[in-house]
Amino acid sequence: MLGMHDRSLAAVVLAAGLGSRFGRPKAGVRIGGRTLLGVAVDTATAAGLHPVVAVVPAGVSVPPGALGVTNAQPGAGLSRSLQLGLGAVPSDRDAAVILLADQPTVGVALLRRLLGARGRTPVIATVNDGVLGPPVLVERAAFDLADRLVGDVGLRQLLRGVPDEVTPVEPGGPIPDVDTPADLERVTEPCPGCAERYLPHVADETHPYIGASAACWATYGELLARELEDMAYGRMHRHSADVYAVQHPGHDDRRQRQSVALHLVAICQWLEHELPVELVNAITQRLARSDRVWPWLTPPASFAMTVADVLQASTGEAHAALVRRWGIATWEAWSDHHDTVRDWAREALGER
């Protein structure tokens, strides 16, 4: 990874824009379980850049591990954010990589290319559609280039004026800016189960019958890790597994029909019968061992909450509250089948 042996590189993520075309500040716009700002911070961190300076408007929090710098005058333009960000880079860092929060498709591989081109010029810039621009690596000796900028003038205009000081790097593909909600849709894909939108993701493994996208399955993996590592979160694991399963029913096949039926029964027994987890587990295991043929239940068209919402919890108590809200919202989404599931739940209780 970048920076594994060279800790002299920082990152500056510019995220203080007003987002007028998007309709709200883009720093807090969510993709899956992360914000646009969070995606950029995670990319910089994964590349070994440290610290990661995040320039944000007043009132916007930064992800854990990032160094927040407030641009109290975002209307002053991109130049002000760039100057603030570079000014916050510690004096012992030799260079900084400048990233834009509204370019979520930028990955570690591109940052590695920028690092590999160091040594020839004080600035290494990405060539996107024939135009020099971010992400950009700037050596400390060139930090004062930002002082030449005024107003809403950013890196692209700056680099155009100093071509002899810039080494261009090909990104290996287009780097779209997310300026509008339509742009966000173009760079993301919906999960076929819950319909939450994520950046395209290549998974090492997927579930054999849970109908989730690779990115959504990876997000559930993050939730699962929390629940397995911390009992304050783990006490809700039974319920989060049930809710996730019925939001991702897959297609009409034997295992999928059984999965949806059993998990819906478990949710009903949790929310309406208020059964303890131990009893819900025992009933589910008994039903799973039976030879019963379960019918296919047509799933809802949409869900009000997804696993990405639950990932926003920062304490076990908040996690429990969010899982319960998630469960209630998802149970309501399956309301067309409540009578059927309630009959199954009562029948299962009678066979205890």
Q: What is the pLDDT along the chain (352 residues), one digit of tens a residue?
A: 444 345 689 999 999 987 888 988 899 999 998 999 999 999 999 999 999 999 999 888 899 889 999 998 877 778 889 999 999 999 999 999 999 999 999 999 999 999 999 998 999 999 988 889 899 999 999 998 888 777 666 677 778 878 889 999 999 889 999 999 999 999 999 999 999 999 988 766 667 889 999 999 999 999 999 999 999 999 999 999 999 999 999 999 999 999 999 999 999 999 999 999 999 999 999 999 999 999 999 999 999 999 999 999 999 999 999 999 999 999 999 999 999 999 999 999 986 5
Residues 114, 81, 149: CA angle, nearest 5 degrees: 85
What is the CATH superfamily name and number for domain 9-180? Answer: Spore Coat Polysaccharide Biosynthesis Protein SpsA; Chain A (3.90.550.10)
> Contact, 128 vs 175, CB < 8 A?
yes
Give the residue ranges of DSSP H helices in the chain: 36-46, 78-87, 108-116, 155-160, 181-187, 214-229, 231-234, 237-247, 254-271, 277-289, 307-310, 316-333, 338-350
Is this structure's pTM higher than 0.95?
Answer: no
**What residue spans define the domains of the chain?**
9-180, 197-350
> Contact, 18 vs 71, CB < 8 A?
no
Beta bridge partners of 125: 136, 168
